[in-house]
């Protein structure tokens, strides 16, 4: 379990059974670590939407937080064939597609399109996400948030609100 004590943006959601923290990510990325109340993860997942993300972002409070997060390493692969077909790009995976505009090689064929993603949340990632240059005295005791039950990691572009990564961590030990 990793520990961070810092001034962090957080929210105890009054409408959904969860609390969350926001951490900055690479580039335009933002991370929401969402901790649903015990047994309520599916309720929170069903409510995930652009409107929910916007409401959370607008409602965050910045304050002292003692944050306990497990190390997480997740990877997955998805065959995009069906998705491409649904998007009307079905010819890409057939012998009928013509790639002569991008290569002079004889009859280039695409047999599969695979998307692979990996997420690593470790001490280095937490350090990179931690705010720097925060000074001053905090009058209140820090809020403690312990990610010791199933939770959600959402990474999104904070300008377009496009979801970049969405993970349900079922066994955080």
62-91 pLDDT, tens per residue?
999 999 988 888 777 888 778 878 887 767
* Per-residue confidence band for 136, with pLDDT thresholds at 50, 70 and 90: very low
Q: Name the 3-class secondary structure at 82.
A: helix
| Domain residue ranges in the chain | 2-71+122-169, 79-118
Can you say whether residue 137 is alpha, beta or left, with left for phi > 0 and alpha for psi between -120 and 50 degrees? beta
Q: pTM for this one?
A: 0.74
How high does pLDDT run on average in the chain?
82
12-57 pLDDT, tens per residue?
999 999 999 998 777 888 899 999 999 999 999 999 998 999 999 9
Q: Which one has a higher pLDDT value, 125 or 128? A: 125
Q: Which one has a higher pLDDT value, 133 or 117? A: 117
Q: Which H/E stretch holds residue 55?
A: helix 50-59
d(CA 156, CA 31): 7
Q: What is the CATH number of domain 2-71+122-169?
A: 2.30.39.10
């Amino acid at each position: 379990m990793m520990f961070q004590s810092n001034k962090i943006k957080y929210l105890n959601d009054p409408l959904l059974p969860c609390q969350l923290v926001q951490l900055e990510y690479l580039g335009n990325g933002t991370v929401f670590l969402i901790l649903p109340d015990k047994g309520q993860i599916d309720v929170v997942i069903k409510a995930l939407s652009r409107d929910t993300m916007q409401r959370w972002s607008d409602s965050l409070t910045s304050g002292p937080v003692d944050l306990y997060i497990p190390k997480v390493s997740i990877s997955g692969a998805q065959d995009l064939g069906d998705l491409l077909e649904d998007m009307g790009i079905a010819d890409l995976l057939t012998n009928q597609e013509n790639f002569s505009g991008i290569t002079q090689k004889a009859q280039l064929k695409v047999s599969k399109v695979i998307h692979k993603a990996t997420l690593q949340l470790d001490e280095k990632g937490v350090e990179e996400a931690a705010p720097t240059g925060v000074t001053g005295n905090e009058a209140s005791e820090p809020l403690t948030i312990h990610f010791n039950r199933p939770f959600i990691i959402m990474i999104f572009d904070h300008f377009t609100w496009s979801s970049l990564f969405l993970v349900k961590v079922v066994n955080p030990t």
